[in-house]
Amino acid sequence: MKDIIEYTDYRKFIQDYYDERKRCSAFTWRQFAHDAGFSSPVYLKYVCEGKKNLSVNVAGSVANAMGLAGFENTYFVLMVSYAHAKSDKARRAAFEERCALAHAHKVHVLGSEEFDYFKSWKNPLLRELAPHMPGAKPLEMARACKQHITAAEVSETLDFLVKMNLLKRDKNGNYHQTDKSVSMGSVDAVPVAAREMQRQMGELAVKAVDLPLSERDMSGLILGLTRDAYERIRKELAECRRRVVAIATEIDDAERVYRLNLQLFPMSENLKNEFGSVKEE
């Protein structure tokens, strides 16, 4: 069985623990539930199947039943906290606490760097800006940004990007991208951080409304759609993003760094589900 640090899903960890015990002994769900203090003999089985949730209040008892001690016990409870957090803020806090706990015990959490990358608009901005400013000092890069950022923040961000292998620094001190684009991948915590970045980018977009029309392009539509039309438009937007990335990656030079937001979101409830079918007269 893998180390607990390699897990992000507490249900998978419980299932793997049960399978390992079952393979080596006559271990049963009934015994497992009893050891964890549950009256229902199949409660933990239902948890693994996604039919029940494990509350934070009983997570410690389950961890004890699995023989977890020390930081592994705490790590398991944090996995449960992360899974059932009621907000992105609470999920971020649980994930960051998991990372801090693992780091304190010199263990790497899968996805922690990716999570950190998508937490702040500074990371993608400097990843694009630095390679196009050869020989520039952090203060010069900071002054080149329309958004407020200090030279110290620039230095810290560049160090992080190099550590993540998203930028490399040559012998002359100039930065180069290791890849043309960055994807969120499949780490479950990354979308939580990405939503925070999207909020930040949305706030920056509001401020950009005051820029001259020659420097920004903003438009919008309000549409009445069916679910099928919505899915077709989503595919069209995905294809549009692909074409935009292809255009951007054709060139090796750049004059400015831009952010493109594509947003399609509901402005009403589901009219048929909430209010009944709309009748034609």
pLDDT, one tens digit per residue, over 17-47 is: 999 999 989 999 999 999 999 999 999 999 9
pLDDT per residue as tens digits for the range 100-132 = 887 776 665 655 666 778 788 999 999 999 999
Please give the pLDDT value at position 98: 79
Question: Closest Cα partner for 17 from 63, 52, 54?
Answer: 63
Q: pTM of the entire structure? A: 0.55
| 15 CB burial (10 A radius; 0-12, 13-18, 19+) | middle
* pLDDT over threshold 80, residue 206: yes
Please give the pLDDT value at position 137: 94
- Looking at the chain, the whole-number percentage of residues with pLDDT higher than 70 is 89
Please give the pLDDT value at position 278: 44
Report, in angstroms and rounded to the nearest whole number, the Rg of the chain calculated over CA atoms: 24
Please give the pLDDT value at position 112: 63
pLDDT per residue as tens digits for the range 244-255 = 888 887 777 888
Please give the pLDDT value at position 277: 45
Please give the pLDDT value at position 108: 53
**pLDDT band at residue 279, thresholds of 50, 70 and 90?**
very low
Whether residue 132 contacts residue 236, with contact meaning beta carbons closer than 8 Å, is answered with no
**Mean pLDDT, all residues of the chain:** 86
Rounded mean pLDDT, 253-268: 87
Fold classification of 4-108 is: 434 Repressor (Amino-terminal Domain) (1.10.260)
* pLDDT over threshold 80, residue 276: no
Domain segments of the chain as ranges: 4-108, 122-249
Rounded mean pLDDT, 72-91: 88
Whether residue 64 contacts residue 80, with contact meaning beta carbons closer than 8 Å, is answered with no
User: Around Cβ 159, how many Cβ atoms within 10 Å?
Assistant: 12
Rounded mean pLDDT, 121-144: 93
What gap in Å lies between CA 81 and CA 83, rounded to an integer?
6
* pLDDT over threshold 60, residue 186: no
> In the numeric block, which tokens belong to residue 41?
């003999």
Please give the pLDDT value at position 14: 97
**pLDDT band at residue 228, thresholds of 50, 70 and 90?**
very high
